[in-house]
């Protein structure tokens, strides 16, 4: 992926009118970030398979499902069947990351691997070129609206080094605290896929917020 993209996170959307919320952002971007939380790996619960199935009926966006659950291996298949295009699991939640990668590949879906801010970034580097997307969390997973953790910039840069050294095209995603002030800086550090929840959905005009973020990301 050469250009930068914004992937709105529906965590901050109004769930009472989710389809409308998604339709608004679909006008400006092709990627939708979907946060699944189990109340165990993270201290919060969101939604699961039936919700993905239901929004799949009306949206053509690329569904990027971020699994913040303790046992992601059990859920690759149900989420794939529900309409996920990319499945991202946390490296901390699997015994054998290679096995998890293979399981997602077998389902014909794109593979994402994420890393918690408390986990040394070196842990994920051996897997960078084996995945389609590496998600560097820039807040502690669990809630929207938190402040960006500054040390994420150096972590993104390390992943970027590995991707470039291998001339790979692994997407580098960043999730948490992305706003007009941080978007340009994470891109400079090497990210090219920016997840944004509150920055998009707290603006009444969600589509306009996506355009503005993209402008900041490119500047
Ligand atoms: C947090 C989620 C994020 C969240 C980001 O655990 O993974 O995707 O929606 O929210 P903001 O953009 O508000 O920091
Ligand atoms: Zn997320």
Domain limits of the chain?
5-218
Q: How far is the CA of 11 from the centre of ligand 2 (A)?
A: 8
Question: Is residue 146 a contact partner of residue 140, using CB atoms and an 8 Å limit?
Answer: yes
Give the active site residue among 96, 175, 180, 205.
175
Instruction: State in Å: Cα 164 to ligand 1 middle.
Output: 27
The tens digit of pLDDT for each residue in 1-48 reads 669 999 999 999 999 999 999 999 999 999 999 999 999 999 999 999
CA angle 150, 88, 99 (to 5 degrees): 120
SS3 20: helix
Task: Determine whether the shortest distance from the Cβ of 177 to ligand 1 is under 6 A.
Answer: yes
Taking only the tens place, the pLDDT of each residue in 120-162 is 999 999 999 999 999 999 999 999 999 999 999 999 999 999 9
What distance, in Å, lies between the first and last C-alpha atoms of the chain?
18
Look up residue 142 and give its DSSP letter: T
Given 35, 38, 64, 132, the catalytic residue = 35
Homologous superfamily in CATH for domain 5-218: Aldolase class I (3.20.20.70)
Show the beta-strand stretches assigned E in the chain: 5-8, 31-37, 62-68, 86-90, 110-115, 133-137, 171-175, 193-196
């Amino acid at each position: 992926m050469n250009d930068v993209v914004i992937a709105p996170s529906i965590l901050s959307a109004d769930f009472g009118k989710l389809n409308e919320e998604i339709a608004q952002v679909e006008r400006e971007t092709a990627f939708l970030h979907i946060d699944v939380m189990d109340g165990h790996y993270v201290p919060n619960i969101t939604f699961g398979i039936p919700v993905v199935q239901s929004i799949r009926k009306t949206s053509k966006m690329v569904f990027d499902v971020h699994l913040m659950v303790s046992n992601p291996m059990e859920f690759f298949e149900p989420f794939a069947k529900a309409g996920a295009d990319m499945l991202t699991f946390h490296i901390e939640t699997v015994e054998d990351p290679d096995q998890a990668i293979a399981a997602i590949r077998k389902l014909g879906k794109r593979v994402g691997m994420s890393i918690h801010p408390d986990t040394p970034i070196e842990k994920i580097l051996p897997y960078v070129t084996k995945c389609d997307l590496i998600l560097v969390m820039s807040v502690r997973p669990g809630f929207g609206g938190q402040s960006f953790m500054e040390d994420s910039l150096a972590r993104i840069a390390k992943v970027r080094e590995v991707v470039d050294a291998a001339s790979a095209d692994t997407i580098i995603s960043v999730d948490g605290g992305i706003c007009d002030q941080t978007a340009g800086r994470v891109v400079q550090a090497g990210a090219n896929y920016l997840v944004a929840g509150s920055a998009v959905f707290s603006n009444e005009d969600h589509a306009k917020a996506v355009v503005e973020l993209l402008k900041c990301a490119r500047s």
